[in-house]
Every structure is written in structure tokens, then in C-alpha cells.
Structure 1
Amino acid sequence: MKPGVSSERAIVLAPTGRDASVAAALIREAGYYANPCADLAGLMHEIESGAGLAVIAEEAIKTADLRRLVNWLNDQPSWSDFPIVLLTRQGGGPERNPDAVRLGQILGNVTFIERPFHPTTLASIVGSAVRARRRQYQARAILDDLTESEGLLQTAMNAGHLGALELHLPDFELEASDTCKSYFGRRGSDPFTYQDLLEAVHPNDRARRLAIVQDTIETGRDYRIEYRVIWPDGSQHWVDVRARAVRQPDGGTKSLVGVCSDITARKTAEIEREALLAQLAAERAALAELTATLEQRVEQRTTDLMLEVAARERAQEQLRQAQKMEAIGQLTGGVAHDFNNLLMAVMGNLDLLRKRMPKDPRLHRLVEGALQGAERGASLTQRLLAFARQQDLRAVPVDLGALVRGMSDLLERSLGPRVALRLDIPEGLPAACVDTNQLELAILNLAINARDAMPDGGVIEIKLAFWKARNDPSVRPGNYLKLSVVDSGTGMAPDVLKRAIEPFFSSKPVGKGTGLGLSMAHGLAVQLGGALQLASTLGKGTTATLVLPVATSAPELESSAPAPQKMKRSAVILFVDDDPLIAMSTTEMLEDLGHRVIGANSGLRALEILRSDQPIDLMMTDHMMPGMSGIELVAASLRVRPQLPVLLATGYAELPEGSQVDLPRLAKPYHQDQLRERLDQLLGGAAEQNADAAGARSLSG
């Protein structure tokens, strides 16, 4: 492999002034590599030597000969889509700059930044481009190793949301993965033949697709095409299909092997953008034609070129904000997961230390203080996971009116004597599908925020209303309940309102708030399938509205089933975790509970133990492990020991598609008491099953 083949460098071409050095410095400060170059020839030399992306000032290539660069971009292999960040002048965005649009169309994968820009904007876009380039390198490696490991390929395909397909010639027999079928609107269990695929292709795209297929079969050139497909439900989608010809010994084409991905979102955005640009051009032409004779109509029409432009700008700003929050959410979820692991080791060891240390009050106070700090850290990670939409939820039908009324005493105590609480709850509202505990916490957070916004006291009103969503971009069409917390406090300025749901952003004085209340409520609402809507006017108050989906069934009744009987016995437990700190602390806790522990630091090692004659009563495993995840290990273990109870311990709530949603789980970080309770439930259930099985065998004998 030649040097630079997986480079992540940002190549900067901005020959005017200090733009190149400033941009390179900002990129390096963000933790990425950056090399400035003097001219287009230098840029090409750097790119051809290996690069992650290019940052180019518009004026540097506006009138330059771009054939060498365009040829290089067009000759990229199928895995590569080299990212380019184009720096335009102020007011020179693609909506108002035909040259920028032309460059974007020529260069392909282009992101525009208007100058002047905030350093974090450049760092964020460069970070996204580097991560995208990394994924391209990963895809290249996957394609190179395709024939070596089908299992490795499938893992990579799942990670990249790619579907696999193979077209056997000359009979045109099609094999398609479940993911591939889903991109054509089929389920994994549905049959999907080549004729089904042909019929799914949009009529206007069939001839073009057929020509490219024929060219690949005859010449062996790579098959690469984007086309529309019609799903069985009549909806239209876009797919990107890439394949290569597999040759027979005689040189003929044996089959076409490739991947497909759903690009509906991207193509829809491109089509909408082109339509908007075309509409704008048409309106300008009509406006110019009527100027001489219809000045009044032209003036009205101009008032209308401007309203539409403003609406587009607002829509683009909303899209940028949504993308920003999604990126922050992904980062936040990862940090919370890693922090959970650290807290797991701390809390586990503190639990054991508290039980075994001498009866020294000072030592006990110190340990209790450390445990309280760890608990606060755990609470923080739960709020972060809520914002990242990765918390473990139990969404059930709930009567929101009864829930709010039941909270009224708690709310009044929390709000204090200077704030009056009013409830506006109509009768006959349907149930909402929510997690009761998390929703109560969100309502309490919103009420406390409202209280803090009224330092001189006032009234907080909590209202419930039915709402039918039709064309709201924040939620899917359907029936919802709106739970609004309304105050008449200080309100928020537009710039504060814009950032209100960002994690750790707070307008309160230092030490008066974590900045996670609104972000947690936002994450909870979105994870439940709803939204958080904020409306505020400076000096007039704020309305925070949780939009929650209506349940499809009636609220659950309180269950009076007795708790499972605890098992007071020693068990042999196979414990699987790749983190040595967690493995050490959890093993100590298990042994302290009287169990015998067999440790394994990977899923493969655990399978070796399961295949042996070693007696095992229960397996406890982490989920996020290299090589083989906990879910994959559970699936493999069921084939070896179908009756073995399994406990999944993880800091993530989000599990891959197709996993067992009813798998017993223990959320990290956990205390020894929580571990004991969960093990007692599982071991007790296993004992009852074994007893039932033994009784059945004796009766049959």
C-alpha cells in the first residue's frame, strides 16, 4: 500500500492574504492535520499523494483550468467521494452565486462556507468531512477483503447501512440481502427476484439502467448508477447501486456483485434545491419582462422573490441546526457510554470497599461522599443519554391528565410559595405512549426552569391538548398530545432561544444549572417519537411544549403480581467484558455475593467456554465489545446452551435492528444491590423452569 493512501490531511488552497495559514491553523487547533499549498498544481500534487479533504477559496479556482482536478475526481474508485469545502465570499452562497453552483456541480461532494465564518463552523465541517473520508477508507478496505471473509463483509455492510446483491449470469438470478430488499420496500422474508427488481425501477429510469447493466456485462467496467424505485405501497425512493463484474476463467462475466444504499434523503434535498433554483430563475425572468408595464405588480411580486427567499433561508437554518444537534447527540451518546463504564468501575469498587473497611466514621463519610459523587455522575450520564436519545425507555399507554394531577403536590412543593400552579386538563383525552418516570422528570425540569424565569414570582400553567399533525416537519403525521408549561417570566432572547436545547448551555449564573434540563426533555420527546417546541418573547415569558404520540391502546392498570422470590444459592456465572477495570470490580461483587465467576475478555473466548463441559448457571455479558458484540454472543450461545439465562449489562439503550428487545438487561453503572436483585430474578426464573421441566419428565416417565 503506497504512502498516504489513508491520509486524513486537509489540503488548503487560499492564495489571497493569510486565508490559507489562518484556515490551516484553525483546522490544526481542532485536532486535524492541515497542509497549505500555493497554487492549483500544488493542490493536485498533495491530493494525488493522499489527502482526506480539500479546503479551497472560491477565487483560487474560479477562472482556473480544473480539468486535472475534475479528471481525478471522475476517476475515483467506487468507494471514494473526495470531500471539498469551498470558501465563498460574504453573500456568495450557492443561492446567490451561480459560479459557486457551477463549481459545486463540477466538483461533486462540495460543502459551502460563507466568509467570514466562525472557527467552530470550519472545525465542525472539517471534522464531518474527515469522518466521512474515514468511512470511505473503511469501505475501500471492506471491498478489498470481500472474498476473504463474508462475515466481516456483513458486519461492515450493517455498519454502513449497505445492502448486498449478486446477479448470476446468464440466467439473471438475483440474490439480495435483507437490507437490500428493504431499500426496494420489501421485507427480509419476502421473495425478491430480478423481475421484481426490474418492475420496481421507475419507468423513466429503466432504459438508462438497462444500458449501464449491459455495458458492465460486455466491458467489465464498474456498474454505478442512481435511480428511482417504486415501493409496493406506491411511494418513490432513490437507491445508489454499485457493482463489479466477476469473471469466468474464459473471460466471460460470471456475475455482478455489489452493494446498494438508500439515498432518498440526499436526492430529495438535491431535487428540492434544483427546483427552488429553477423557480427563482423563472420568477426573475417573469419579473424582468413585466417591469416596464406592470410596475405595481412587479413591486408586489418582489415583495412576494423576498418572502420565498426568507422562507428558504429559514428552512436551511433549521436543517443546519438539526444536523448540528444530531452531531452533538452522537458525540454526547458516545461520551456518556464511556463515562458509564468508568463510573461502573468506581461504584463497584466503592460498594465493596464500604462493606469491608473498618468501622471508622470518617472513612465511611469519605466513601459515602465518593459514592454520592459517582451517583451524580451517573445521573449526568442519564441526562446526556436522554439528550442523545439513547436512554432505556419503557414506553406504555399513560393517562397524561392523571399523571399531571398526581404530580401537582410535588410541583407545588418544588415551585415554592411565590409561584401559583394552574392546570388546564380537558376531559376525554386519549392516552399517550410515554415512559412515566422519564416524563415526570421532564415535566419537573420544565416547571423548575419556568420558576427560575420568574424571580419575583408569578403563575405557571400546565396545559394538555389534542393535536393532529399533518405538515409539521418536526414530527410524522398522526395524532399527538401537547403538554405545555407556560410562564410569564423573563423570556429568552432569539440567540438564547436558538441554543436553548444544546447540552450544557444555560443562561443561568454559574453553579445555578447544568444546562441539561431542556436538552433532556428534547431528547426524551424525540426518542418517544415526538418533539419539544419552544416559544419565547423577551420580557413576556416562555412556553415549552412536549409533543407526545397518542397511544394505540388503553393505559396499563397497576399490576399487583408478587415480586419473584429471591434465590439464596451460589451459582456459576460466566462473566464477559473486555474492560479489565469493569471485569475486576464486577467479578469482586459477584464473588462477594457468593457466586463462582468464570471470566472471559471476548465473545470468542466465552463461546469456547460454553462449548466445553464446564457447568454454567448464567451468562452475564457486556454489549459493546470488539470482534463480537454482546448481542451476537447471545445469539451464538443460544445455539450451544438454549436454556442458559443471559443478562446483558450495557450503558447503551440503543441496540441494533433485529436484536431481542426483551433480553434481560442491567444498565451501567449499577450497584451491588441492583446486581443481586437482577441475578436473583434470573436465577429464580431459571430454577422454576428447570423444576417444571423435571416434573414434566417424571410425568412422561
Structure 2
Amino acid sequence: MKLVQTSIAFISGCLLGLLFLIVLGAWSFNQVELKRNEHYSLEKINNKIDALSVASDNLLIFRPDEKLWQAFLKDAQSIQIELSELKDGKFNAQRVIRHIDQLIQSVADAYQTLPETADSTTNDNQHNPLALPLRSRLLINQVADHGVAIESAIDQLIQDNQQTIESHINRILVVFMFSALIFGALCVMAFGLIYHRIARPTRNLINTIKRISQNDDTARAEVIGQDEMAELSLAFNALLDQKDRSSQQILEQQRELTKQANLLEIAGRVTRFGGWSVDMTTQKIKWSNMVAKIHGKPNGYSPTIEEGLSFYIPEHQPKITELFNKCFESGTPYDVELQILNSAGESVWVRSSGEAVRNSDGEIIGVHGACQDISERMELENRLRQSQRLEAVGQLTGGVAHDFNNLLTVVIGNSQILTESLDDSSKLLPLAKMVLQAGYRGAELTRSLLAFARKQPLDPKPVDVKQLIKLLWPLLERAVGAEISIQLIADDHLQSIMVDAGQFENALLNLALNAKDAMPKGGQLVIEAQNTHLPDRYAQAHEIDPGDYVVVAISDSGYGIAVDKLDKVFEPFYTTKPKDKGTGLGLAMVYGFIKQSNGHVNIYSEPDQGTTVRLYLPVAGENALDENPKMLKTVDVQKGHEHILVVEDDALVRDYVVAQLKDLGYEVISAEDGKQAMQILESDQLIDLLLTDVILPEGLNGRKIAENALKLRPALRVLYTSGYTENSIVHHGRLDPGVLLLSKPYNREELASKVRMALDGIDELPST
């Protein structure tokens, strides 16, 4: 049963019990009063009977007159009536009534008898009661006896009534005691109910609250019964569970906020991004730790507005001041990229943004914003612009290299034929030699452009850097001259590098010649080689792979390069030399070759102090070491008799190649495109070698022709020729395995050598 219902039942029971006791008490009091009234009536009757008894004696003795006699009878009848009423009640008054009747009868008899007796007596005996006759005396005695009996009966009635009152009072006391016991039991039960159903659960709740106040999160109130206090305990426990869930959610949110704060800190640290706010009342700027770090100040540093603006370089201070004032005065936000000088005097590019802070009424009360160090981004953008310029030049180079090399092939080949056919006395011989020399210079120029554009086909192999430099040393000494001393400093345990040895030698020669031009009065050239490791951050910033490298540094003591020109030195045709001293392709070729070799190059220079160029080249695998890299030797012109199919879309080049091969003794047929070549290959024509240009029109290039031809003729030999290879036989700057290439432009000796190598199945020239 619910506590409220139980309480109502107990309270109702107690109230009913109390009402019962009140009614019982009133009724008992009324009954006692009634008994007392009856007792008082009996006493009054007793007094009247005493008076009547005395009156009866007087009547008999003194013989009153008729008036007294009538008064006596009236009193006796009145007593008789009252006794009759008692008889009709609960009293046993018959005996008293009988005696009073007899008393009245006796007195009446005596009254009637006494006169007759008196007549027979003498007058002397008139006033002497002892002279009454015997019958009168008997009547008097009889009246006296009736009076005594009446008094005795009345006394008995009084005594009985007294006992009845006492018995009634005792019964009332018993009822009161029983009722009091019942009422007390109800009170005890009510107290027990209050304790068990209210006080105990309340104490339990109080103890639970104390445990909670002592950080006992496991505390729960005991659920006692199924009443409202139990519901209160359940609700309290549910509230605690909800509190725990809320606390857990708060903890999770705090952990999430901590994670977010950590992420924001990481983001701020990685992106060098921070916030700031200005209190216009104090004219102070509140900087975040990152903003303070950007400015070279300790954490928690708060400058004034004037001091904060003073960090900007002089030419940018008016602009940032105007933007800040406009933001505070009119609420105009700003986002601008400007330059500051930090406390160390270093130039830092920052992106500064700000917006107005308004109160609830919309009034501007301050300014806050963000500051980001964008120096690396600006550097990357400059590098990207430079890379885009270089890429554009590279695309242009690749576009013209094919046709230009075709022309140079004809020029060099025919100039060579003219030179060899003319007598020494001929006036045309010097002209023919000049044309041949110009062709070679044009070919070198094209190779340099292709090297810069990273379009030249490389054949990298594991190379011992130290041994390669020692083999090149005599040539380096002759190139720089006696006025310049050369020194080699190399680690004893240098790792091998993966590089095209011939191109690497050209790069070193180019850098040595540049160093010579920077030291016209002589100086010192130092070549250093050592192992190094490029970490992730450096590698990411310079767009190369992290890992182990060998760095080759070429340092001179020349006049150096100005800071504003350093970012342009790798551009093609850019040079600080006089026009007759260089073409501006030397460093561009070095840059392209190193990048194509998956390496990295940087340059450091100070005016009047010298220049250092560092070449970072990836190390080769331990199992790929070539202990003896050699220079390729020149091979004598060899002739043959095999059948060769020449595929060349340029008529001049095709005619030149066919003529040269026939002059070398070969049987030659030609095709101007892939379609014509496939028709010949599908015929019964005898063919030992396919000499095909890589780039051909109508979508069927040299690589596809060779693949189809090998399906028809598995024993067929293939020799590719091209002035620009694209990606058909060169991938990632390297020739595909098993590919033999004759690069344009070429002379008769190179043509004869490569054809012979292809026919004899030699992949490369022998090394010495």
C-alpha cells in the first residue's frame, strides 16, 4: 500500500479511536451523573421517609387534627409515587413500596381506631400515651417497624445503587483502558510506520548524500518497499545515474575538447597560426603563444598596439595601421599578407586578419583576429613560379628538340661527308668544317636543353663517387687551369650512388667551368663528398624523397652571386657572365640532370665570398655496386651486309640514313610511317634489323611497331633512334630494360657502332 494511503488509514483509525474515546467518555460521564442523580434521589427519599416515620409516630402519639393527618397522607403518597417511579426504573423498590403501603395502612388503621378507644377511657388518661389501649400500642409498634423496614430498604437501595455506580465506573475504566491500549497500539504502529517508511529511508538518503559529498560515485540509496519513499529513492538513484551519465558525457566532452585543443595546438604549431585580441581600454594586445613565437617573443607577451604595429616593415606599417583603424572605427574586417621583422631581425611573411568585437548593443568595443606565419608558403609559391617557368621552358624544349635534332642529323652527317670528300687544298674544306662544328654545337645545345627539361634518356648504374671523381680529375685540372687549385675531400666509406656516369661527369665539368669563370684571378676549388640523410620535413619542403643520399659539394672562392639573383641561376639562358662567356645553360643542365636522377640541388652564395653548389644523389642498393665505372671507349666504324628496315618520317633524315647504311654495305629498305613499315614486316622480305624513329605520325610510334614486329619475327633486332623520346621507351628518366637507343643527332661512326651492336646482340659498349 502506498505511504499516503497507509497514512490516511492510520490517521483515520487514530481519529476514529480518539472520537470513540471522546464519545465513550461523554457517555460514561452521563451515566455516572445519572447514577449520581438516582443516588441523590434515593437520599432525598430516605430523608423524606425519616421525616414520614417521625410524623407517623407523632400522629399516633399526639392524635393531630384532620389537617395534619391530611398532610401526612399527602407526604406518604408522594413518597409512594417516587418509590413507584423507582420501581419502574432499574431499582428493586418493591419491598420499600410494600413497607410504605403497610406504613400508610397501619397509620390509617391507627387513626381510625384511636378515637373509639379514647371514648371508653377516662379524661384523666387523655394526655398520657401510656394510657393508650393495647391495640394502639401495637399499631404504633407496627408503624415503627414499617418505618425501620422502609429505612432499611432505602439504605439497601442506596447501597445497591452505590455498588452499581462503582461497577459501572469499573466497566468504564476497563473500556477506557482497552481503548487506550488499542489507541496506543495504533500510535506505536504509526510510529513504526513513520520510522520504517519515512525516517529510515530518509536516513538512508541522508547517508547516501554524505557518501556522494565524499566523492563516492558508487553510492546509491536503498529502495525499501514500494511506497512514495521507495519512489523517491528510485528517483534519487535515477538522478544519480543521470548525473553519472552527464558526468561521463562531460568527461567525454572534456576529453574531446582536450583532443580538439591538442589538434588546434598541433594545427597552430604546424601551420604557425595563432590568435590575438585588442583591449581598447588598456591599449594592449593579447597574443597567443604562437603569435608571440612568430614575433620572436616569449609566451604570454602582451605588447601595446603601437608596439605590435611597429613589427611590420616600414613600407607595410601605413597599410596595416589604416586597416586596423578602419576595422575599429567602422567594423570593416581585413585579411592581408604583409611582412614583419621579428625580435631577432628576421624577415617573416605573415597573414594578418582582424574583425571588430561588438557588445550586446552592437557597439564596437575592440578588435580581434589571427596571425599566421606564411613564410614557407611564400617560399613554396616562389619556387612553384620558378618551377612553372622551368616547366614551360622544358615543354618548349621537348617540342622543338625532335625536329631540331632531325635537322642537325642531316647537317652533321652531310657536313662530315663533305669534310671527308674535300681535299685539304680546297677552299670549301674550312667552310664544311665550320658547318660540321656548328652542327655539333647545336647538338650540344639541344642536349643541354633536354637535360634541363629532364627529357634526356638516362642509363643510371651504381657508381662509386670517389673513384669516378678521381678518373675525371685530370680533365678537371685541365679545365680550370693552373691558377686554380683543386682539392678533394671525401669520406672513407662513401655509399654508392645510382646515376648516369657520363651525365654526372658533364655536370661536374659544367660546375668546374662556372667556378673558373667566377675566379678570373685564380682561387681555390674544393670538391667534397659525404654521406648524409635528408629528414622528412626537409624532403617534403624540397619535393624529394627522404632517406640516405651522397652529397657532392663544389665550392669556389670567387666573387659570388647576389641574393636577388640566386633564385634565377637554374633558369635556362640566364647568366651573370658576359654574352661571349656562356649560354646560360650550364646550371640549367645540372639542375635538370640532378632532378631527373631523383636527386636534389641547392646553391648558397655570398658576394665576394664564393659559391657552393650541393648535389644530393640517392644511394644505390648494397647489391648493385659497380666497383669499376669506366669511361666509354670509341669504337671503330664497322661495316656489314645484313638487311635493315629504316622507319623515318623525316625525308631528309631517311635519305641520309639510307645512304650511310648502304655505304657501310648493308641492304636497306625504308618506310615513311608505321603503316608502311607493318606492310613490309608482314611480307616475305628478309629483314635482320629494324631501325625506327620513336616518334612517328598517325599514332603508330616506333615502340608499337617494334612490339608488333617481334610478334611476327621473334628473332628480329631493334634499334631505336630519336631526338626526343617522350615516354615510349623512357620512363622516370631512364631507358627501359633491353632498349638500345641511337640519340639524334649522330654522326656516321655512332650510326655504324649502334647498328653493329644491335645486330650482334650487344646491349652496351664494352668498358675498359
Normalised to the residue count of structure 1, the TM-score between the two structures is 0.54
When residues 296 and 418 of structure 1 are mapped into structure 2, their CA distance, relative to the original with a 3 A threshold, is: farther
When residues 560 and 408 of structure 1 are mapped into structure 2, their CA distance, relative to the original with a 3 A threshold, is: closer
Q: Distance in 2 between matches of 1:487 and 1:436?
A: 23
Q: Distance in 2 between matches of 1:602 and 1:344?
A: 19
Alignment match, 1:547: 616
Give the Å deviation of 1:403.
1.9
Q: Any idea what the Cα deviations from partners look like across 1:359-418, whole Å, max 9, x if unmatched? A: 643222221221111111111111111111122222111111122233333222222232
Alignment match, 1:69: none
Q: Does 1:532 align with 2:522?
A: no
Alignment match, 1:580: 651
Q: Any idea what the Cα deviations from partners look like across 1:415-437, whole Å, max 9, x if unmatched? A: 22322212211101111111112
Give the Å deviation of 1:296.
6.2
Secondary structure at the aligned position of 1:468 is classed as: strand
Specify the code of the residue in structure 1 equivalent to 2:666. Answer: H
Alignment match, 1:619: 690
Q: Any idea what the Cα deviations from partners look like across 1:193-234, whole Å, max 9, x if unmatched? A: xxxxxxxxxxxxxxxxxxxxxxxxxxxxxxxxxxxxxxxxxx
Q: Distance in 1 between matches of 2:695 and 2:406?
A: 11
Give the Å deviation of 1:514.
1.4
Q: Does 1:404 align with 2:453?
A: no
1:682 to 755, 758, 764: 758
When residues 569 and 453 of structure 1 are mapped into structure 2, their CA distance, relative to the original with a 3 A threshold, is: closer
Pairing 1:446-485 to 2, within 5 Å after superposition = 446-470=511-535, 471=537, 472=539, 473-474=541-542, 475-485=544-554
Q: Any idea what the Cα deviations from partners look like across 1:525-560, whole Å, max 9, x if unmatched? A: 111110211111222211111111111122244689
When residues 621 and 397 of structure 1 are mapped into structure 2, their CA distance, relative to the original with a 3 A threshold, is: same
**Percent identical across equivalent pairs?**
38
Q: Distance in 2 between matches of 1:424 and 1:633?
A: 50
1:503 to 566, 572, 579: 572
Q: Distance in 1 between matches of 2:281 and 2:727?
A: 61
When residues 289 and 577 of structure 1 are mapped into structure 2, their CA distance, relative to the original with a 3 A threshold, is: farther
When residues 292 and 314 of structure 1 are mapped into structure 2, their CA distance, relative to the original with a 3 A threshold, is: farther
1:596 to 663, 667, 678: 667
Alignment match, 2:716: 644
Q: Does 1:395 align with 2:460?
A: yes
Alignment match, 1:297: 287
1:351 to 412, 416, 431: 416
Q: Distance in 2 between matches of 1:652 and 1:378?
A: 12
Pairing 1:69-84 to 2, within 5 Å after superposition = none
When residues 367 and 279 of structure 1 are mapped into structure 2, their CA distance, relative to the original with a 3 A threshold, is: closer
Alignment match, 1:328: 393
Q: Distance in 2 between matches of 1:611 and 1:680?
A: 24
1:513 to 560, 578, 582: 582
When residues 455 and 480 of structure 1 are mapped into structure 2, their CA distance, relative to the original with a 3 A threshold, is: same
Specify the code of the residue in structure 2 equivalent to 1:512. Answer: K
When residues 294 and 561 of structure 1 are mapped into structure 2, their CA distance, relative to the original with a 3 A threshold, is: closer
Q: Any idea what the Cα deviations from partners look like across 1:222-264, whole Å, max 9, x if unmatched? A: xxxxxxxxxxxxxxxxxxxxxxxxxxxxxxxxxxxxxxxxxxx
8 Å contact 2:594–2:617 — kept in the other structure? yes
Give the Å deviation of 1:356.
4.3
Secondary structure at the aligned position of 2:434 is classed as: helix
When residues 456 and 558 of structure 1 are mapped into structure 2, their CA distance, relative to the original with a 3 A threshold, is: closer
Q: Any idea what the Cα deviations from partners look like across 1:599-622, whole Å, max 9, x if unmatched? A: 111101100111111122221110
* Structure 1 alignment gaps of length 5 or more: 1-274, 687-701
Give the Å deviation of 1:461.
1.1
8 Å contact 1:394–1:435 — kept in the other structure? yes
8 Å contact 1:564–1:681 — kept in the other structure? no
8 Å contact 1:483–1:547 — kept in the other structure? yes
Q: Distance in 1 between matches of 2:520 and 2:758?
A: 51
Give the Å deviation of 1:565.
11
8 Å contact 1:566–1:681 — kept in the other structure? no
Q: Distance in 2 between matches of 1:354 and 1:545?
A: 43
Give the Å deviation of 1:630.
0.5
Secondary structure at the aligned position of 2:512 is classed as: helix
Q: Distance in 2 between matches of 1:539 and 1:390?
A: 36
Q: Distance in 2 between matches of 1:605 and 1:326?
A: 36
When residues 446 and 561 of structure 1 are mapped into structure 2, their CA distance, relative to the original with a 3 A threshold, is: closer
When residues 437 and 562 of structure 1 are mapped into structure 2, their CA distance, relative to the original with a 3 A threshold, is: closer
8 Å contact 2:398–2:455 — kept in the other structure? yes
Q: Distance in 2 between matches of 1:636 and 1:515?
A: 43
Specify the code of the residue in structure 2 equivalent to 1:623. Answer: V
Specify the code of the residue in structure 2 equivalent to 1:303. Answer: H
8 Å contact 1:566–1:684 — kept in the other structure? no
Q: Distance in 2 between matches of 1:531 and 1:593?
A: 44
Alignment match, 1:631: 703
2:749 to 673, 677, 697: 673
Q: Does 1:609 align with 2:685?
A: no
Specify the code of the residue in structure 1 equivalent to 2:709. Answer: S
Q: Distance in 2 between matches of 1:394 and 1:342?
A: 25
Normalised to the residue count of structure 2, the TM-score between the two structures is 0.50
Give the Å deviation of 1:448.
1.7
When residues 589 and 294 of structure 1 are mapped into structure 2, their CA distance, relative to the original with a 3 A threshold, is: same
1:377 to 442, 450, 464: 442
When residues 535 and 526 of structure 1 are mapped into structure 2, their CA distance, relative to the original with a 3 A threshold, is: same
Greater mean alpha carbon deviation, residues 438-447 or residues 411-420: 411-420
When residues 288 and 611 of structure 1 are mapped into structure 2, their CA distance, relative to the original with a 3 A threshold, is: farther
8 Å contact 2:598–2:617 — kept in the other structure? yes
Q: Distance in 2 between matches of 1:354 and 1:407?
A: 31
Greater mean alpha carbon deviation, residues 617-626 or residues 342-351: 342-351
Give the Å deviation of 1:480.
0.5
Specify the code of the residue in structure 1 equivalent to 2:701. Answer: S
Q: Does 1:486 align with 2:558?
A: no
Which has a greater percent of helix? 2
Number of aligned residue pairs: 410
Q: Distance in 2 between matches of 1:336 and 1:315?
A: 30
Q: Any idea what the Cα deviations from partners look like across 1:29-77, whole Å, max 9, x if unmatched? A: xxxxxxxxxxxxxxxxxxxxxxxxxxxxxxxxxxxxxxxxxxxxxxxxx
Specify the code of the residue in structure 1 equivalent to 2:720. Answer: L
8 Å contact 1:391–1:654 — kept in the other structure? no
Q: Distance in 2 between matches of 1:494 and 1:623?
A: 43
Give the Å deviation of 1:318.
1.7
8 Å contact 2:696–2:702 — kept in the other structure? yes
Alignment match, 2:740: 664
Greater mean alpha carbon deviation, residues 646-655 or residues 304-313: 304-313
Secondary structure at the aligned position of 2:745 is classed as: coil
- Greater Rg by CA: 2
When residues 393 and 493 of structure 1 are mapped into structure 2, their CA distance, relative to the original with a 3 A threshold, is: same
When residues 567 and 515 of structure 1 are mapped into structure 2, their CA distance, relative to the original with a 3 A threshold, is: closer
RMSD (CA atoms): 3.1
